[in-house]
Amino acid sequence: MARGSAVAWAALGPLLWGCALGLQGGMLYPQESPSRECKELDGLWSFRADFSDNRRRGFEEQWYRRPLWESGPTVDMPVPSSFNDISQDWRLRHFVGWVWYEREVILPERWTQDLRTRVVLRIGSAHSYAIVPWSLLFLAGLVNYQISVKGSNLFKLEVRLLDAENKVVANGTGTQGQLKVPGVSLWWPYLMHERPAYLYSLEVQLTAQTSLGPVSDFYTLPVGIRTVAVTKSQFLINGKPFYFHGVNKHEDADIRGKGFDWPLLVKDFNLLRWLGANAFRTSHYPYAEEVMQMCDRYGIVVIDECPGVGLALPQFFNNVSLHHHMQVMEEVVRRDKNHPAVVMWSVANEPASHLESAGYYLKMVIAHTKSLDPSRPVTFVSNSNYAADKGAPYVDVICLNSYYSWYHDYGHLELIQLQLATQFENWYKKYQKPIIQSEYGAETIAGFHQDPPLMFTEEYQKSLLEQYHLGLDQKRRKYVVGELIWNFADFMTEQSPTRVLGNKKGIFTRQRQPKSAAFLLRERYWKIANETRYPHSVAKSQCLENSLFT
């Protein structure tokens, strides 16, 4: 990254840990180090679905107290994967209820013989709830040892910050503090700077004197240094106006479903770079930690969204839901707070924000999220009317979903520009906040063609996007700060008369092949990227200082 001629000093403490003041605990991403070993449990597991009427037969008969095959027939199930997409059993395709996984694991002898070793079982993700019976852990040989520390004065904590060339640029000791870094290299989003995203390595060594002697632990965390700020008309990264031109995604693909897959992940990032996209929203749930790490490396900016989707009825906005929603935001912020790619939190997608009860509910969730992390703006994604939205006063950025000429006025592409202009003007006049068009698009079945364009054809999707882009261009140098197409790729949904083998709004098929709209979007995104990289070609933007999030 470009280095200033004068010595710049950055306080890493507030950047890395300041946002964690309201958070306790949490688990670091597992990685190998001189003190840490990882044993992957991916592979074939024994699997059984509980098809009983109440879906609780497994608990009633205590299947967990003996090998799973003794309770009834099991099948092989790959992990990670979505079991719905693997089996030929029609009952599993849309199964909702308890399913049981089992695998016998042999651990290294030193893990169970060395009393200083702490063994932790980590489940990367589960949809949507998981229980691990402790009796199974005991039978498998997992023993969780605790090391007693005689006094806090017996701790020794050493911290080092290394640059991309593995040169130590800062040192520190103690459980908290600041690292001063001369000649800071900033983390920049993809296509916003001449060089790729810059990551430092934060190395931590903790040594403790225990009753069994000294024990040391080593951990390395990739970190990026950057600022995020919001004004009434701009989104700023490192003090420069940033325009989101990207996609909404889903963790979904053929056969593997939502199961994590490295080849698929690398393919998706190659497509994002081919497209010229610089951002995406994790619709509508936090993605795998490996995805966030790739975003850090590639400089892809993330709007990190929690699973707050489907809040459509008044009874959903109660104190029980509110308490749980706050817990979920704590989990999301705790896990992802140290990723420089994450620039904004989204607490919900399309809640019924016109309800009075929703206003208080969203106010509390947003305020709680800000207390957890004061360094990032907070939003939710709205599809409500601007005059009735009770949650909009509390967000930092307005995110809007609208599907003009698709869900209403369908076929009338000529109305889009007027409708979009009216939408933007009404929202900005009332709230005076930057706006992101967080969803727009049209269903398209690859290979369907018709001229003049008709719905579900590639021509219609392309024409709809063109009309949206004309409307976006009228406002994007004023107060519209981003556009995210729905969707990056086709994805599977429940069966319904309105879905043809899932949602077909992707610019790529579920198999990651481009539709005509992908080439249109690629041309647009690279044009916008070049304007950002070479700002002499566009009107100079004003940059307001002293923003809340700097």
Active site amino acids: 350
Distance of CA 127 to the CA centre of its chain: 16
HSE, CB side, 13 Å, CA atoms: give it for residue 68: 19
Bond prior to 250 in cis (omega within 30° of 0): no
- Separation CA 192–CA 241 (nearest Å): 10
| Residue showing tokens 């104190």 | 319
- Separation CA 209–CA 155 (nearest Å): 7
Would you mind telling me the total number of residues written for the chain in this entry? Answer: 550
- Separation CA 378–CA 40 (nearest Å): 35
CB-based contact 329:369 (threshold 8 Å): yes
- Separation CA 74–CA 316 (nearest Å): 37
Distance of CA 37 to the CA centre of its chain: 27
Q: What are the beta bridge partners of residue 378?
A: 345
Structure tokens at 32: 């190998």
Structure tokens at 195: 């060089």
Strand ordering across the sheet containing 235-237: 228-230, 235-237, 240-241
CB-based contact 38:72 (threshold 8 Å): no
